[in-house]
């Protein structure tokens, strides 16, 4: 069967069967390269690269120009599509096991926003991994805003979080009334000291999303929890401009609908 026969799936399968083929085609789409350069780049044998280039030539994906090979328009077309497919699969694999706890596309979130995200998942061997990641972000910011009902995220790190506020981190949170009542009754002294710092603004809303959105100086984070166990399952953080625009929009939407809680009301 010649390279032009069969189905499109056959060509996709051909590229996918060996991990070096798509990177080779993508590299040639970027600029001409010698066979030795491709051999060193891919780590396969020189005979394998020679055979791959011959197969690419049979498909009119590359052509030889002196001692170098370069991609044809056809090869660049395929290379771009394969690179995009690989990127999409990489994004999907990041969130495959946790997507049900993250905001759906009806909220405006797209999987493309997750392309460069750090996805931290709670596991049996490290159930507090998302909380620890959250703490890392808190330590690196001077301003923090949060909207949502994910009390489980702040509970394990309440002392350090409150100390950051007391030390000067400008913080504004939009919480359900029940969350504030719980913190006020469970940790009254810590709560009062944190509020007394003047660095914390609390707003209350009865109908917040099931996920949480945190806005830091340079990153935004989305946390998702399991409503059955009340444990944080995933924290996704990114510096994507699109994700920040979405997070700012979400926070502003709820902020407009919630008055600031008077200090005496919260601490009474």
Question: Given pLDDT bands bounded at 50, 70 and 90, which one contains residue 1?
Answer: very low
Average pLDDT of the chain is 88
> Residue 119 in 3-state DSSP?
strand
Phi first, then psi, for residue 150 (nearest 5°) are: -85, 65
Numbered ranges of CATH 1.10.10.10 in the chain = 8-90
Instruction: Check whether 115 has a pLDDT greater than 90.
Output: no
Report pLDDT digits (tens) over 203-224.
888 888 888 999 999 999 998 8
Instruction: Considering the domain delimited by 8-90, tell me its CATH architecture.
Output: Orthogonal Bundle (1.10)
User: Average pLDDT, stretch 31-41?
Assistant: 94
Numbered ranges of CATH 3.30.870.10 in the chain = 99-267
211 CB contacts (<8 Å, ≥6 apart)? 101, 102, 103, 148, 150, 222, 223, 224, 225
Instruction: Considering the domain delimited by 99-267, tell me its CATH architecture.
Output: 2-Layer Sandwich (3.30)
């Amino acid at each position: 069967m010649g390279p032009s026969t069969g189905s499109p799936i056959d060509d996709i399968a051909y590229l996918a069967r060996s991990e070096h083929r798509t990177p080779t085609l993508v590299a040639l789409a970027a600029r001409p390269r010698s066979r030795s350069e491709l051999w060193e780049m891919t780590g396969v044998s020189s005979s394998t690269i020679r055979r791959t280039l011959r197969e690419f030539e049979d498909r009119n994906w590359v052509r030889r120009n002196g001692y170098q090979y370069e991609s044809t328009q056809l090869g660049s077309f395929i290379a771009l599509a394969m690179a995009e497919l690989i990127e999409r699969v990489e994004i999907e694999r990041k969130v495959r096991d946790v997507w049900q706890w993250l905001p759906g596309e009806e909220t405006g979130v797209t999987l493309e926003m997750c392309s460069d995200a750090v996805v931290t998942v709670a596991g049996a061997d490290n159930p507090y991994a998302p909380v620890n990641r959250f703490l890392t972000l808190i330590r690196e910011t001077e301003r923090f805003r949060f909207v949502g009902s994910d009390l489980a995220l702040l509970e394990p790190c309440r002392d350090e979080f409150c100390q950051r506020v007391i030390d000067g981190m400008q913080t504004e949170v939009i919480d359900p009334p029940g969350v504030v009542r719980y913190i006020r009754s469970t940790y009254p002294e810590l709560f009062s000291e944190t509020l007394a710092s003047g660095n914390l603004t609390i707003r209350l809303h009865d109908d917040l999303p099931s996920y949480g959105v945190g806005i830091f100086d340079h990153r935004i984070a989305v946390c998702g929890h399991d409503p059955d166990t009340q444990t944080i399952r995933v924290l996704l953080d990114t510096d994507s401009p699109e994700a920040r625009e979405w997070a700012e929009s979400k926070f502003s939407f709820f902020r407009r609908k919630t008055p600031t809680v008077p200090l005496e009301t919260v601490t009474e």
